[in-house]
Chains A and B, each alone.
Chain A
Amino acid sequence: MTRKLTIPCSKSKLADIRTFVNDILMENHMPELESHKIVLAIDEVCANLIIHSNNCDPGERLELLVDFRKGDQVSFVIRDRGVSFDLSRYQEPSMDEIIASKRKGGLGLMLVKRIMDKIEFTTENNYNICRLIKKL
């Protein structure tokens, strides 16, 4: 069964996203440490979309769909209408570069890539769609 949450593009709504995802994973008896990592990955992607794609505009919406298939995988679809993200052009910075630059961003997608089994960004009918899969 697919569950859906729609939120305005505001950073203050990230906590709602975490609660929504955590509840679904808990209902499906996922161990806490594993669940915590998946919640983190979704929080990171949503934070990036809210901040970079939608400029924290609460008039914009972000939709999150979660499909938990026991014994198989949990998949996430995140849809928004902001500026699209081109994963193919993303070059992961090294930790030394991040330390030297003193910038506070740049770590989110690194975490997501290490946690999830598949990440895909597409644009369909004016919607940006991010699909994430974690195998169980």
Chain B
Amino acid sequence: MMIDIKEAQLDGAYKLIVAGEVDASSSIHLDNALSKALGEYKRILIDLSDLEYISSAGLGVFISYIDEIRAQGIELVLFGLKEKVQQVFQILGIHDLLTIEETEADALKHLNDA
């Protein structure tokens, strides 16, 4: 399977684990999962440790919810990005529009400090 999305309920936060490759054919799965999470939770972690690839279709999913995240006071933190994936966020400056932490511990700390 090209994209694999799992979910987990942590103590006080919801976690989406997105693994594999997000491109124009698979980004719909990320969109559906993120849309559902944003409708139900206010504190969301996105674990991208096993994400090998993201194209503009995947970046576009995150961008399309930025207004909703801001308007609804949702705390959403991405973490675990591989360097090759991180650089894709950086090319368009999208890393400045989202909260990105290195590790899950950092991400949880960010949520708890927020």
Residues on A lying within 8 angstroms of B by beta carbon are 11-12, 14-15, 18, 32-33, 36-37, 40, 43-44, 47, 50-51, 95, 98-100, 102-108, 110-111, 114-115
Contact = CB atoms under 8 A, between A and B. Distances in A.
B97 A95 contact: yes
A98 B93 CA distance: 13
Contacts, number: 86
Given A15-B23, A47-B24, A99 B66 contact: yes
A107 B59 contact: yes
Given A33-B83, A99-B66, A104 B25 contact: no
A47 B23 contact: yes
Interface residues of B, number: 28
B83 to A, nearest CB: 6
A99 B91 contact: no
A95 B84 contact: no
A44 B87 contact: no
Nearest to A115: B91
B32 to A, nearest CB: 12
B84 A36 contact: yes
A103 B97 contact: no
Interface of B: 2, 21, 23-25, 27, 31, 53, 55-57, 59-61, 63-67, 83-84, 87-88, 91-94, 97
Contacts of A33: 83-84, 87
15 contacts: A11-B25, A18-B23, A32-B84, A40-B53, A47-B23, A47-B56, A51-B24, A95-B92, A99-B66, A99-B67, A102-B67, A105-B56, A107-B56, A108-B56, A111-B92
